Structure 1
Amino acid sequence: MFGWKPGIGDPTVYGWVVAAAYALGAILCWRASKRGPTGERRFWLFATALLAFLAINKQLDLQTLFTDVARAMAKVQGWYANRRDYQEGFIAGLAAAFAAVVLILMLRSRRDRPVVRGAVVGIALILLFVLVRASSIDRIDWLLARHLGGIKVNHTLELASIAVVVACAFLAGRPSGRRR
């Protein structure tokens, strides 16, 4: 379908580690939604859905399918020659949507426990990472491909962002320890 084939999109060790990290995050967010205060449950369910989607996307490479469909539409509809303008508009729209999500999460979590606010920061970092990868700016791509101590900057940033959410969800999902 449009050049995209269902299958494992990133069969590398890194690809599997990141997919597993997103999946672990989704599981821990789900657990936090069951154990946290009532007011926090919707946030943890949102985080569960986001991380589960990103785990699946990491290996199915759905953004490539999206890109292939958009490219085919651009060619059929005759605006492929001006694709840069549309790409810039898409990235601007994506940035605005991500900023709105983060702002809403920040406003809604201002009275929540610190672990929720920490998870909001982690989600903001993940969305920023997704935006940077989607924008594919040459200088940023060059930086992300560099290595720090044998590990790509790209890998470090993605895993660190996930780790923030995972740690906060783990802490939020722990039993409170209170005896009744």
Structure 2
Amino acid sequence: MTEIWACTRQDWQIGIGDPGPMGWLIVVLYLVTAGLALCVAGRGGFPERTQSRERLFWCLLAGILLLLAVNKQLDLQSLLTAVARCLAQIQGWYEERRAVQIGFIIWIVVVMVIFFSVIWILLHKTLRRNGLALVGLIFVLGFVAIRAAGFHHMDRLIDMRISSVRLNWIFEMTGPALILISGLSILRAARGKRSGGQ
């Protein structure tokens, strides 16, 4: 364990992962969207028959977004990548790492298919209200999966720039933005119902 940690420290140091203005803007977007998701869970005005499932979904969104806000600046996926690289070197399978990466991606895809199948069942007959948030979650977890896979050509692709805007920023902000829009729409509809019932 000491050997792995010593090796890992050569590739990863604790600190701010993305100290630029866009990095902090994305952190704020994650935090604001997580807060909004909690508001939606509490005040979404969901129908009685689906209320518990929809609240669970929005609490799940809040938790995921909060974790991503923390991860954005601690850069924990880089820590995991560094640990895996060091483990591969120490255990002698570094040259076969592509097969392990492919196995890891297959595992992520299987887990995501199961996860989204459960979410689909959970949100059955509520997709008109929650569909945009679900698409946002797909974007969020898709981005996480791409970063976690650690393929250098994928990293190069999402780090490309259009003018001064990195594709990475667009990909990372799309999911939370869709969830934010969906949450605001649900809260607006709930407010309209409450004011209409008075």
TM-score, normalised by the number of residues in structure 1: 0.88
1:43-83 Cα offsets, whole Å, 9 max, x none, are 01100100000110000000111112222322333322322
Match of 1:25, SS state, is helix
Q: Verify the 8 A CA contact 2:77 2:147 in the aligned structure 1.
A: no
Match of 1:130, SS state, is helix
User: Quick one: distance in 1 between partners of 2:58 and 2:184?
Assistant: 11
Structure 2 match to 1:59? 73
Q: Verify the 8 A CA contact 1:26 1:49 in the aligned structure 2.
A: yes
1:137-176 to 2 correspondence within 5 Å? 137-174=151-188, 175-176=190-191
Identity within the alignment, %: 33
The residue identity in structure 2 corresponding to 1:41 is: R
Structure 1 match to 2:56? 42
1:86-132 Cα offsets, whole Å, 9 max, x none, are 11111111122122222222232131163312101110111112222
CA apart distance, 1:138: 5.0
User: Quick one: distance in 1 between partners of 2:117 and 2:127?
Assistant: 17
CA apart distance, 1:19: 1.0
2:38 counterpart (30, 35, 41): 30
Q: Verify the 8 A CA contact 2:34 2:66 in the aligned structure 1.
A: yes
TM-score, normalised by the number of residues in structure 2: 0.81
From the CA coordinates, give the structure whose radius of gyration is larger. 2
Q: Verify the 8 A CA contact 1:115 1:169 in the aligned structure 2.
A: no
Query: How many pairs does the alignment contain?
Result: 180
Q: Which runs of 5+ in 1 are unaligned?
A: none
User: Quick one: distance in 1 between partners of 2:145 and 2:157?
Assistant: 15
- Relative to structure 1, the CA distance from residue 82 to residue 140 in structure 2 (aligned partners, 3 Å threshold; closer, same or farther) is closer
- Structure 1 window deviating more from structure 2 (144-153 vs 40-49): it is 144-153
User: Quick one: distance in 2 between partners of 1:140 and 1:87?
Assistant: 13
CA apart distance, 1:154: 1.9
User: Quick one: distance in 1 between partners of 2:36 and 2:84?
Assistant: 34
CA apart distance, 1:133: 2.6
User: Quick one: distance in 2 between partners of 1:65 and 1:140?
Assistant: 18
Match of 1:47, SS state, is helix
CA apart distance, 1:158: 1.6
1:120-131 to 2 correspondence within 5 Å? 120-131=134-145
Cα RMSD over matched residues?
2.0
- Relative to structure 1, the CA distance from residue 143 to residue 74 in structure 2 (aligned partners, 3 Å threshold; closer, same or farther) is closer
User: Quick one: distance in 1 between partners of 2:91 and 2:154?
Assistant: 31
- Relative to structure 1, the CA distance from residue 81 to residue 17 in structure 2 (aligned partners, 3 Å threshold; closer, same or farther) is same
